[in-house]
Amino acid sequence: MARRHATEIENLDMKWHAFRLLWPHLLQHKQRILLSFSCLGMAKATTISIPYFQKYIVDNLDTQLDITNAQLLVTVPLLLIFGYGLARFMNVILNEARDTLFGRVTERTIRNLSLLTFRHLHKLDLDFHLNRQTGGLARDIERGVAGINFLMRVMIFNIIPTLLELLIVIGIFFSSYGIEFAGVILIAIVFYIAYSVVATEKRTRFIREMNKADSAASTRAIDSLLNFETVKYFTNEEYEASHYDEELATLEAAKRNNRLSLFALNGGQALIVAVAMTVILLLAAQGVADGSMSLGDFVFVNAFMMQLFIPLNFLGFVYREIKGSLANIEKMFELLQEKPTVLEKQDAVELDAGHPDIQFKGVCFHYRPDREIVRDVNFTVAQGEKVAVVGASGSGKSTLVKLLFRFYDCQSGSITIGGNNIRDLTLLSLRSAIGIVPQDTVLFNDSIYENIRYGRPESTQEEVEKAISMAHLDLFIDQLPDGIETLVGERGLKLSGGEKQRVAIARTILKNPAILVFDEATSSLDSKTEKAILEAIREISEGHTSLVIAHRLSTVIDADRILVMDNGGIIETGTHAELLEAGNTYHHMWMLQQLEEAAHS
- Same domain, residue pair 323 and 385: no
| Res. 8: pLDDT tops 50 | no
Q: Which residues 6+ apart lie within 8 Å of 456 measured at CB?
A: 463, 510, 511, 512
The DSSP annotation for 63-129 comes to: HTTTS-HHHHHHHS-HHHHHHHHHHHHHHHHHHHHHHHHHHHHHHHHHHHHHHHHHHHHHHS-HHHH
Residue 537 lies in a domain: no
80 and 137 in a single domain? The answer is yes
Whether residue 237 is found in the same domain as residue 352? no
Mean per-residue pLDDT, 442-465: 88
Identify whether 212 is part of a domain.
yes
Identify whether residues 365 and 466 lie together within a single domain.
Answer: no
CATH number of the domain enclosing 390: 3.40.50.300
Query: Looking at the structure, do residues 88 and 143 belong to the same domain, yes or no?
Result: yes
Per-residue model confidence as pLDDT tens digits over 470-525: 887 888 888 888 888 988 887 777 887 778 888 888 888 888 888 999 887 766 56
> For residue 276, how far is the Cα from the chain centroid?
45
Residue 69 has pLDDT above 60, yes or no: no
* Residue 452 vs residues 428, 468, 471, 485: alpha-carbon distances, Å: 20, 8, 11, 11
What are the C-alpha distances in Å from 402 to residues 23, 56, 91, 397, 546? 38, 80, 62, 10, 15
Residue 376 pLDDT level (bands cut at 50, 70, 90): very high
Q: What is the pLDDT of residues 377-386, one digit of tens each?
A: 999 999 889 9
DSSP string, 267-326: HHHHHHHHHHHHHHHHHHHHHHHTTSS-HHHHHHHHHHHHHHHHHHHHHHHHHHHHHHHH
Q: Which pLDDT value is given to residue 572?
A: 92
On whether both 136 and 269 belong to a single domain, the answer is yes
Residues written for the chain: 601
| Position 281, amino acid | L
Letter for the amino acid at 231?
Answer: V
Flag whether 223 is in a domain: yes
Count of domains observed in the chain? 3
If you average pLDDT over every residue of the chain, what do you get? 79
Say whether pLDDT at 563 is over 90. Answer: yes
Q: Is residue 12 part of a domain?
A: no
Q: Is residue 531 part of a domain?
A: no
Domain C-terminal end among 297, 314, 336: 336
- Domain boundary (336, 363, 383) is at 336
Against a cut of 0.75, is the pTM above it? no
263 and 147 within one domain: yes
In a domain, 10, yes or no: no
Let me know if residue 534 belongs to a domain: no
Domain boundary among 288, 304, 336: 336
Same structural domain, 255 and 217:
yes
Distance of CA 133 to the CA centre of its chain: 12
Backbone angles phi, psi at 112, to 5 degrees: -65, -40
Domain check: are 202 and 230 in the same one? yes
**CATH code for the domain of 239:** 1.20.1560.10
Identify the domain containing residue 419 by its residue range.
Answer: 347-433+515-524+543-601
Other C-beta atoms lying within 10 Å of the C-beta of residue 479:
8
Decide if 210 contacts 255 (C-beta within 8 A).
yes
In a domain? residue 404: yes
Same domain, 101 and 166: yes
Pairing relationship of beta strands 358-368 and 371-381 according to DSSP bridges: antiparallel
Q: Do 447 and 429 fall into the same domain?
A: no
263 and 355 in a single domain? The answer is: no
